[in-house]
Amino acid sequence: MVSLPNGYVLRVGPPSVASYVHLREASGMSPKTHQQAMAGINGAWAAAHILHRPTGETVAMGRVIGDGGWYFHIIDMAVLPDHQRRGLGDTILTWLLDRIRQDAPPNAFVSLMADPPGRSLYQRHGFKDRSPRNVGMSRLLERQVDDD
């Protein structure tokens, strides 16, 4: 069970495309285009976002992608700067992990990429730096555009 400060409400599912794009950029994550958001926003295994009731603004989000059997990867954890330090990221992460515990097979493998601002949150939830044994690796694939 998750709890929120007064004035906030948790919604199951991803935020709107516009809110997703805004949350990523405003919280310091790499910006994504409207087209990228449209293509991926509904592809998550689980998602949740938090609304600020007085304004109706989406102020936090998180998603899980995975195969539903063994691998689950937490992505898009973001909280708008004016709403940080209120437990919203903790609430989102707790909800996502509870969902995995409830619906995934036992002993699911849960991973994430942790930027410096989120590391203490993830550590509080049992995530550990596994280096040097395991190292997260990534690559951006550039696509060539025809000039025709």
Instruction: Give the H or E element holding residue 120.
Output: helix 119-124
| Rama region for 13: left / alpha / beta (φ>0; ψ in -120 to 50; rest) | left
Predicted local distance difference test score (pLDDT) of residue 49: 98
pLDDT of residue 81: 96
Question: What would the pLDDT profile of 70-119 be if each residue is shown by its tens digit?
Answer: 999 999 999 999 999 999 999 999 999 999 999 999 999 999 998 888 89
Contacts of 4 (CB under 8 A, 6+ apart): 10, 50, 87, 88, 91
- 17-41 pLDDT, tens per residue? 999 999 999 999 999 999 999 999 9
CATH class of 8-124: alpha beta
Domain ranges, ordered by start, for the chain = 8-124
